[in-house]
Structure 1
């Protein structure tokens, strides 16, 4: 089963986007190779849903975080090697020998460059293998080639480098016949093994790069628990894109599955909700997270409703788009999935009375779905007073505003309870809008 995160959620949390400088993908996309970038994209698009696999990947990242390494390969050489293998020979050996011989003849007759390009690609491949040989010696000396994330890479490299068929071509000068033989060996006999070695090399690139970013930013690694545990405990949660972010701690379990969040505009509600969603998404990828500690039961997916747009083509108002979003989430929750749900200011597209009634009814209904966890924020703090009758399943927290004269200051630190802070008019007055009018 695939981890669920639809386009709305991915956009709300700014998770994907190579060309979006503010995306979480861009934060980690500092890899050295094109192949590693492709692998990183795959990891972002396909979070894991098994605790064992999540923890295994986290341990690999943790290893490279504790054993700092420099990626030892040249990006251009790896790209050239990949292109050479993709364009390389196929078919039987006599056909390959004939094709190489023909390329050499055309070079001599009409100065065609296909033979020289073939030799160049072949030499690049050999140089990469020599780099692998040097790295293998270093890993063996340090004892890292076994029982570590290097183990699969080392085994793949060793299976090629130690093959005696390669030693016959270990010479600076090669005849056309030798060139054809080596070309056949690399692009036919060893082709699948070489491609596998490249894939593992790209994986190492991701491990080294991501763990380095985690070390620089003081990210940590989560512990994934089986789905049946039904808990989520996070300490020191912060948004990975916000410098000097104020950390907060949250916790959910089957008996307390809703966080009801109040606070004024600019108090940090949306940032906290996005930070939590991003943290859980990265945790299911096995990636480092912006938190001091995280233990979580594996979920089936994440749904968010932060920036729900209207749809003029379909004639949907902002409010109706919100209603459809809540309906979609309700259907998923009712299908017995384990989900993490973020609702930022439910029903803000309608009047206060309808928003009050709808927020109260929907939040109360969600208390019954104990396998799912919810963060629901609102400006309508009066709803909270009514929801207290639902018992301990709802946690009431707020982000406070401290008034210094007529200027609001935000602590961004969660407190228990419900706040009645409303500074909208104060901000409008401070900006001098009324004086202008």
Structure 2
């Protein structure tokens, strides 16, 4: 199945895939050293896939670089950028003779620019070929072999069969014109292809280094609706330095979660972990988890960080309602996308919110398709939802210490959260002490 993974700008911001004002998952992975590599990375990161072959191909191109993640990668952004410009500044193909000034030893700036560029082209070819050969030591890859052969062919023409050592390539007035013509005219198509491939390697190597150092997994992906399950073992959020791992299983027969938990128990963190893991899966990237098995899903949509629209006079509740409509309108009839609604309808009173959540969840349960996770503090709704077969009840587990104080485990578990910690957290914040200070002697 081919197509485009469905996701919108609000979701990209909600789960920190794209945000122009804060830290993002994009920034976490974007460690390519060249501008071309960064451009390639951006295109890949924001081009999610709905075909297994494409996902597996990206996974392969990242995984094969993990064994060489610590191998020296001796390339510099400025030099590669200058080389790219030099190659793309096409030579006319016409030959030019040696001028009288050349014999007098008068060298123009263009002479030194060409000489430097020829030597940089040589060094780029030698270094990249060595790196590709290092990759193929672990396993031979057809495209790597093709690039090695293509690079070797270019070097043989530059060195005319002699040993490929940049320090021994003597560029002078007698050969600079022929070398310049060779590189920018005769070899230009091959060199442009090699540079494009290098940018791909640069981008994927950045991801491979992170994956290897942090032990990320590569998800197993199946055709849409084959297993009817999204299964994650030991998933966690990419930004957590000391993460608590969770096991997740969303099944079509229990496709809707009613997720409850006290403030600070970790509801928002777990839903962001699930959503970002699914997105990374569908761009062929490694994921912060021990293992993931999932069918292809149509997309991910979230409603997490919404703001009142003062210009249009929309209340927070109405903004939430409009957002829910936007999400549903983007789904095809047979969709198996994941919808995440965090603290749904918090912009209205308790009674209205309860009725609205109840009606929305029952309506979603009647739709044959999308998965949904609805988080809420209104735990009493569970009694009215018990008879809906496709709804499962999950909670963020809180334990007590020897003094009876709450201990946040940040682990998800079946059931309904009964803890009411609002007042405890309010007292912990010190707000009442601050108010008492204002009272003075009174």
- Does TM-score exceed 0.5, indicating one fold? yes
CA distances 1:118-153 after superposition (whole Å, capped 9, x unpaired): 22112211111122344466566x364x2x3xx313
Q: Distance in 2 between matches of 1:14 and 1:411?
A: 24
Q: Distance in 1 between matches of 2:283 and 2:292?
A: 14
Q: Distance in 2 between matches of 1:19 and 1:71?
A: 34
Report deviation, 1:67. Answer: 5.5
Q: Which of 260, 267, 270 is the equivalent residue of 1:269?
A: 267
Report deviation, 1:174. Answer: 4.1
CA distances 1:89-136 after superposition (whole Å, capped 9, x unpaired): 244x12xx35x979x87x977x75123212211221111112234446
Q: Which runs of 4+ in 1 moved over 6 A?
A: none
Report deviation, 1:241. Answer: 0.6
Asked if structure 1 preserves the Cα contact closer than 8 Å seen for 2:298 and 2:335, the reply is yes
1:5 aligns with 2:7: yes
Report deviation, 1:63. Answer: 3.0
Q: What residue number does 1:89 align with?
A: 90
Q: Distance in 2 between matches of 1:77 and 1:50?
A: 37
Alignment CA distance shift 1:333-1:361 (3 Å)? farther
Report deviation, 1:66. Answer: 4.7
**Structure 1 length-normalised TM:** 0.88
* Unpaired runs of at least 5, structure 2: 163-167, 437-442
Report deviation, 1:266. Answer: 0.3
Q: What residue number does 1:37 align with?
A: 38
Q: What residue number does 2:113 align with?
A: 117
Report deviation, 1:18. Answer: 8.1
- SS of structure 2 residue aligned to 1:224: strand
Asked if structure 2 preserves the Cα contact closer than 8 Å seen for 1:264 and 1:400, the reply is no
Could you say which structure has the higher helix fraction? 1
Q: Which of 315, 318, 326 is the equivalent residue of 1:317?
A: 315
* Unpaired runs of at least 5, structure 1: none
Q: Which of 166, 173, 198 is the equivalent residue of 2:158?
A: 166
Q: Distance in 1 between matches of 2:21 and 2:377?
A: 34
Report deviation, 1:261. Answer: 0.3
Task: Please tell me the root mean square deviation across aligned C-alpha atoms, in Å.
Answer: 2.8
The correspondence of residues 148-163 of structure 1 with structure 2, limited to 5 A, is 148=141, 151-163=142-154
Q: What residue number does 1:26 align with?
A: 27
Alignment CA distance shift 1:174-1:434 (3 Å)? closer
Q: Distance in 1 between matches of 2:394 and 2:359?
A: 19
CA distances 1:256-309 after superposition (whole Å, capped 9, x unpaired): 211110001100000000011111111111111111110111122111111011
Asked if structure 2 preserves the Cα contact closer than 8 Å seen for 1:401 and 1:409, the reply is yes
CA distances 1:4-34 after superposition (whole Å, capped 9, x unpaired): 22111111111135884x3111221223322
Deviates most, 331-340 or 23-32: 331-340
Q: Distance in 1 between matches of 2:302 and 2:128?
A: 45
1:60 aligns with 2:33: no
Report deviation, 1:187. Answer: 1.9
Q: Distance in 1 between matches of 2:131 and 2:288?
A: 32
Q: How many residues align?
A: 424
Report deviation, 1:337. Answer: 2.9
Report deviation, 1:361. Answer: 0.7
Q: What residue number does 1:434 align with?
A: 432
Asked if structure 1 preserves the Cα contact closer than 8 Å seen for 2:280 and 2:287, the reply is yes
Q: Distance in 2 between matches of 1:219 and 1:203?
A: 20
Report deviation, 1:175. Answer: 5.0
Q: Distance in 1 between matches of 2:13 and 2:120?
A: 41
